[in-house]
Structure 1
Amino acid sequence: MKRSIACLSLCLLFIWPVLIRAQSQVTMSSADMYLAIRKLNVLGSVLYVAAHPDDENTRLITFLSKEKLYRTGYLSLTRGDGGQNLIGDEQGIDLGLIRTQELLSARRVDGGEQFFTRAFDFGYSKNPEETFEKWGRDKILADVVWVIRKFQPDVVVTRFPVTGEGGHGHHTASAILANEAFAAAADPRRFPEQLKYVSVWQVKRVLWNTFNFGGNNTIRDDQFRIDVGAYNPLLGKSYGEIAAESRSQHKSQGFGVPASRGQSFEFFQTTKGDAPANELTDGVNTGWSRVKGGAGIEKLITGVLSQFDLLHPERSVKGLVELYKAIEKLPASVWTEQKLKEVKHLIAQCSGLWMDAYTTDAFAVQTDSVKINIAVNNRLGAAIQWHTLSVDGFDTTLATTLARNINQSFSKTFFVPLTKPVTQPYWLEKPMDEGTYTVVDQQKIGQPDASPAYEARFDLTIEGLAINYSLPVRYRFTDPVRGELYQPMVVIPPFSVKPEQELYVLKNGADWKRALQFKSNKTNGHFL
């Protein structure tokens, strides 16, 4: 009998994303602020659903987010672990980490929000039956229902049909689950364990976004269509130009595309609910009257908008503060929570308030220390008092009025205890099943990325409003080519283990005795 050969590879004792895309600090221009104030009066939402990173229609997401001003999300059932990789040799889980970050980069461009299920991209699947056998149909359906109940979209749009024209089994499966979730999300008997955190939700309709690619034209003249090729003078770009930039974030897949300009139509076929005649959200109340007691909010927003000064956005802060107080008095709902979040962000941006929490070390090592730096600047001179700062259980009282355009800084060195959790993707914390990741915390399902290791909370009063902002502590560094950049700071163990070589090939039953190298991760650490 032939003796089989077993391959043994030793892994690191901890994992963090192999690619964390470095970013510049993002602030809003006055045009961005004006557009965001307009969006405050729009209470409509659309969720796009497909199987993989790069399946999404970035033109449609951009149009819905930046023209219609809907809250727009993309639910990718997988993280793209089974795709190709044109920028490195990472495959499988490592590739999924890269493609997760590519999707998040795309959403930062097109204005959408990103969600995932626990499904693992195990590679090409011939049909949805094979896909469901590996994923577990009800398990991933539960995740789709969870995202719908939490996001509460008025309309769901699928990239692929339930009838197989999308080719890949994952593609068809994504459409089947989205259509099944139409009824399941509204049924309290389905996945009742979720109702501890969310409520049932009835989507108005499900639409299939028909296509003409891959030699398969599913577009018909009688289908509902919308022109998504408009030009936005506030942004200085057409939605086709923005969408191309978003699409080009899928670098591992070689999906850089040219910008498009001019009229461009997207077509839709209704698969659940009634068909639209004029808008995707026909029959949906997308104004403040959908919120109990919200009728007067629209007038407040219109007042802020009419008085907005592009050269002096700080003059709108008082109006935004009054708006925040008015929304706060309304009954709690998904929309009041979302709009409070948007107004809160606008108050900081319009006031010109700069807040930063950073380190100059990429890693915080358990049993070592890390220095966290805080910087604040009231750049436009709004009436702001800084009361307290809180980081990881540490609180300090500052009780200072922020003068116009004067830097305020603060630094504190923190001991990193052994009990501080090592930073790693939450979906990799436990061993996975064949076709799915294991996530036991219901509220983490759908979350696109790991939570920050440290957060800094700023307690302020802005124009008489007591308000707080929490920022992730990030690693700030200067790249000689790209300039100042930020990336998440991660917590790592005190030491790491490294074999003499990366791969060993052994016969079955053979003893394995090899030296391991232990490396201290502390300052000036070395191999023992």
Structure 2
Amino acid sequence: MRRAFVAAGGVLAAFLSVPHAQLRVVPLDEMGGHVALGLALRHLSNAGIFLHTTAHPDDENNALLVLLNRGQGYRTALATATRGNGGQNEIGPELFEALGVLRTKELDALHRFDGAEQYFTRAVDFGFSFSVEETFEKWGKDEIVADYVRLIRMIRPDVVVALPPGGAGGGQHHQASALITREAVKLAGDAAKFPDQIKAGLRPWQPKKLYYLAAFGFPGEQLPQGPLARINVSVYDPLLGKTSAEIGTEARSMHKCQGMAQLLSLPAPMTTIYQLVESTIPGQMQKDETSLFEGVDTTIAGLARFAGARPPRDLTGGLAVMSAAVLTAQKNFDTIGDQATVKPLLDGLYALRVLRRELRTMSIDEGARYDTDFRLRQKEREFQQALLVANGVQLEALADDGVVVPGQTTAVSVVVANRGAADVTVKNIKFEGFDGDAACALTAVTRPDFGAFGGGRGRGAAPQGAAGQAQATSTLKKDQVVRCDPTVKIPSGARVSEPYWHRAGDAGRYTFDADAPFGLPFRPTTFYVQATLVFGAGPGAEEVLDTVPVHHRYEGNIFTGEKRTELLPPPPFAAHRRRPVRGRRVRLRDPFVPTQPHPDRRPPPPLPRRRAPSAKCASLSSTTCPMPSKRQSSLPCRRDGRRRRRSSR
């Protein structure tokens, strides 16, 4: 007994001595409730737009992106010239174009922390570059300038920041991207430059400020002379419980294939420094700054500036009502609670929609009308998102299968939950990307859904009424959940899931598919569900749209938990097998082999033929076989008479 007790104590001591490991990062996009609503309100009160340009994945200033987006509510975008396919891979075998896809996904992952939108140009990371001239030659300078002009006209930023244009360290892609950014900022506001973009529907846009990063941070670097913008990114955020610098290191740790540090930042002061090199604001370049947006009006009321010095009264009045509603929502959030923000958010959404209708007939310049409505569209999306979070509304769309082929049918479960005090009516559920119009008859969910036993949709708990019958409903009260489970069909012409950028040989510039949205990380999924929800009742009711992609969920290993993927139509494959041989078991090749093999791929070696059994073994009736050597030992023979091989250790 004493021995058993001592052994048990030793096992316990060994267990307690093992370091406790726990995942310490949670993407802010996964936050819900109070934190998510606070972030949404910050965006509602800010109409400013920020663009950060870099050369490769990992060149971005993650702490700055967190500060501007999560901390201050700016819309932020990152335009990375290349996808980093010329680098190395610390975590797997992917190189070249496959590595570019991997690094694109890693940027997607880190933006769940910093909130930025991601865009790319057609430039290829062709490896270390020794000169700006070499980079311009291989990329095609004019073509990449055109790409950046296009992105500026699409995003319409007030402030742009770029990498330093000088120095000899780090490879010259960085300096080339900075010089191209500056040229693009100067050209984007000229309608005579790149007129094909104007014909396609884009409009000229002139950013108000362009900054260069003052230094990379390499040892011995000197700061440039003159006024600088010093941005403190270590200010504590009480809503998030961390500083922007600390969250920035969490985002940066997603650059896994580049071997980025996984140890997170500890509390410490941190400042990032930029130099203003272009500005349309008089006198601004002669000032030291503590904000990149000094001198830029980014309030909701400030949108009236697009209409000139004397904007229409209807415009200023509508913007004032919107602004007051946002301020009331923020005050109620700070002093009362989340649910108290629903009413002012509905008021603000109503005022915004009235203003957008009136804007069409206001006596203002067409360019002013476009830019005002461009920002108002963004605010409408943000109002709707804030309302969904404030009332705890959740929409899920889960399919039985993740890899789908044209003509296939699959079941999709749509789940709508309302955890807020206000009633929510589901007016319509629309399935996009599928053949036909699937009917979604919502029924109440009255028992738990144990997803662990139900596969991709969590089918372990079909909705049941009190007596085992489905209860149809469309208005959700507090803590009520409804769902529908229609069967949908993948269209015969479903596009294959593959990159939309293509490289010919060792070209220094990609070709983009003409029908793909320019510069996005990947082509957006065509399979999604849109729910039209009604908040409130009577004259004060407002419709809110919530759109989510259709996902398939599945389990990874026991350590990684639930995983999700969009629906992925694969390329066509064919199965091949050898001709059956009488009396022998048929050996199948790999179950899926491309119908058109790659022209550079060598054919697989032929399968080895069976060798005839040795004469010595075939003549023996015993189960042993003498070794064909001087050693006096034997090995068992196989039943077919061939000698067994001695196993090596």
Normalised by the length of structure 1, the TM-score is 0.85
Partner of 1:232: 237
Partner of 2:399: 359
Percent identical among aligned pairs is 31
Matched, 1:491 2:564: no
Partner of 1:383: 423
SS at match of 2:569: strand
Matches within 5 A, 1:437-456: 437-441=510-514, 444-456=517-529
Measured at CA, do residues 231 and 96 of structure 1 come closer, stay the same or move farther in structure 2, by a change above 3 Å? same
Counterpart pick for 1:290 among 276, 299, 302: 302
Partner of 1:139: 143
1:295 is displaced (CA, Å) by 3.1
Verify the 8 A CA contact 1:388 1:396 in the aligned structure 2: no
* Structure-2 separation of matches of 1:504 and 1:301: 60
SS at match of 1:34: helix
5+ long unaligned stretches in structure 2 = 1-25, 305-314, 360-371, 442-472, 575-591, 607-649
- Measured against aligned partners, the alpha-carbon deviations of 1:394-424 in whole angstroms (never above 9, x if no partner) come to 2436571113222212112223233111122
Matched, 1:207 2:218: no
Partner of 1:326: 351
Partner of 1:424: 498
Partner of 1:526: none
Counterpart pick for 1:435 among 490, 500, 508: 508
Partner of 2:63: 59
1:440 is displaced (CA, Å) by 4.2
* Structure-2 separation of matches of 1:485 and 1:23: 15
Verify the 8 A CA contact 2:139 2:509 in the aligned structure 1: yes
Measured at CA, do residues 204 and 442 of structure 1 come closer, stay the same or move farther in structure 2, by a change above 3 Å? farther
* Structure-1 separation of matches of 2:62 and 2:163: 11
Verify the 8 A CA contact 2:29 2:115 in the aligned structure 1: no
Verify the 8 A CA contact 1:78 1:121 in the aligned structure 2: yes
Partner of 2:487: 413
Matched, 1:305 2:338: no
1:25 is displaced (CA, Å) by 8.4
Verify the 8 A CA contact 2:440 2:485 in the aligned structure 1: no
Verify the 8 A CA contact 2:233 2:243 in the aligned structure 1: no
* Structure-2 separation of matches of 1:478 and 1:443: 31
Aligned partner of 1:108: which letter?
R
Verify the 8 A CA contact 1:366 1:493 in the aligned structure 2: no
* Structure-1 separation of matches of 2:410 and 2:130: 50
1:74 is displaced (CA, Å) by 1.2
SS at match of 1:74: strand
* Structure-2 separation of matches of 1:61 and 1:473: 29
* Structure-2 separation of matches of 1:440 and 1:362: 24
Measured at CA, do residues 504 and 74 of structure 1 come closer, stay the same or move farther in structure 2, by a change above 3 Å? closer
Matches within 5 A, 1:61-80: 61-80=65-84
Counterpart pick for 1:277 among 280, 284, 288: 288
Partner of 2:255: 250
Measured at CA, do residues 442 and 422 of structure 1 come closer, stay the same or move farther in structure 2, by a change above 3 Å? closer
- Measured against aligned partners, the alpha-carbon deviations of 1:301-326 in whole angstroms (never above 9, x if no partner) come to 11111112688523322221211121
* Structure-1 separation of matches of 2:532 and 2:564: 23
Verify the 8 A CA contact 1:109 1:246 in the aligned structure 2: yes
Measured at CA, do residues 369 and 242 of structure 1 come closer, stay the same or move farther in structure 2, by a change above 3 Å? same
Verify the 8 A CA contact 2:27 2:113 in the aligned structure 1: no
* Structure-2 separation of matches of 1:177 and 1:238: 32
Partner of 1:123: 127
Verify the 8 A CA contact 2:321 2:348 in the aligned structure 1: no
Partner of 1:3: none
Verify the 8 A CA contact 1:79 1:120 in the aligned structure 2: yes
SS at match of 1:475: strand
1:216 is displaced (CA, Å) by 4.9
Partner of 1:471: 548
Measured at CA, do residues 75 and 25 of structure 1 come closer, stay the same or move farther in structure 2, by a change above 3 Å? closer
- Measured against aligned partners, the alpha-carbon deviations of 1:181-235 in whole angstroms (never above 9, x if no partner) come to 1111111011122223222111112111122534451425753312111111110
SS at match of 1:54: coil
* Structure-1 separation of matches of 2:271 and 2:136: 33
Normalised by the length of structure 2, the TM-score is 0.70
* Structure with more relative contact order (C-alpha pairs < 8 Å, separation 6 or more): 1
SS at match of 1:272: strand
SS at match of 2:101: helix
* Structure-1 separation of matches of 2:604 and 2:221: 59
Verify the 8 A CA contact 1:50 1:171 in the aligned structure 2: yes
* Structure-1 separation of matches of 2:27 and 2:403: 17
SS at match of 2:95: coil
1:372 is displaced (CA, Å) by 1.4
Counterpart pick for 1:179 among 178, 182, 201: 182
Measured at CA, do residues 255 and 81 of structure 1 come closer, stay the same or move farther in structure 2, by a change above 3 Å? same
Aligned partner of 2:246: which letter?
E
* Structure-1 separation of matches of 2:241 and 2:271: 21
SS at match of 1:146: helix
Partner of 2:221: 217
SS at match of 1:55: coil
1:164 is displaced (CA, Å) by 3.6
* Structure-2 separation of matches of 1:471 and 1:31: 21
**Bigger shift: 311-320 or 103-112?**
311-320
Partner of 2:98: 94
Partner of 2:246: 241
SS at match of 1:82: coil
1:458 is displaced (CA, Å) by 1.0
Number of aligned positions between the proteins: 488
Partner of 1:373: 413
**Pairwise CA RMSD:** 2.8
SS at match of 2:189: coil
Greater CA radius of gyration, 1 or 2?
2
Verify the 8 A CA contact 2:421 2:478 in the aligned structure 1: yes
* Structure-2 separation of matches of 1:449 and 1:322: 36
1:297 is displaced (CA, Å) by 2.1
1:31 is displaced (CA, Å) by 2.5
- Measured against aligned partners, the alpha-carbon deviations of 1:4-31 in whole angstroms (never above 9, x if no partner) come to xxxxxxxxxxxxxxxxxx9998352303
Higher helix share: 2
SS at match of 1:296: helix
Measured at CA, do residues 513 and 156 of structure 1 come closer, stay the same or move farther in structure 2, by a change above 3 Å? closer
SS at match of 1:364: coil
Matches within 5 A, 1:15-54: 26-54=30-58
Partner of 1:345: 385
1:448 is displaced (CA, Å) by 2.1
Verify the 8 A CA contact 2:119 2:520 in the aligned structure 1: yes
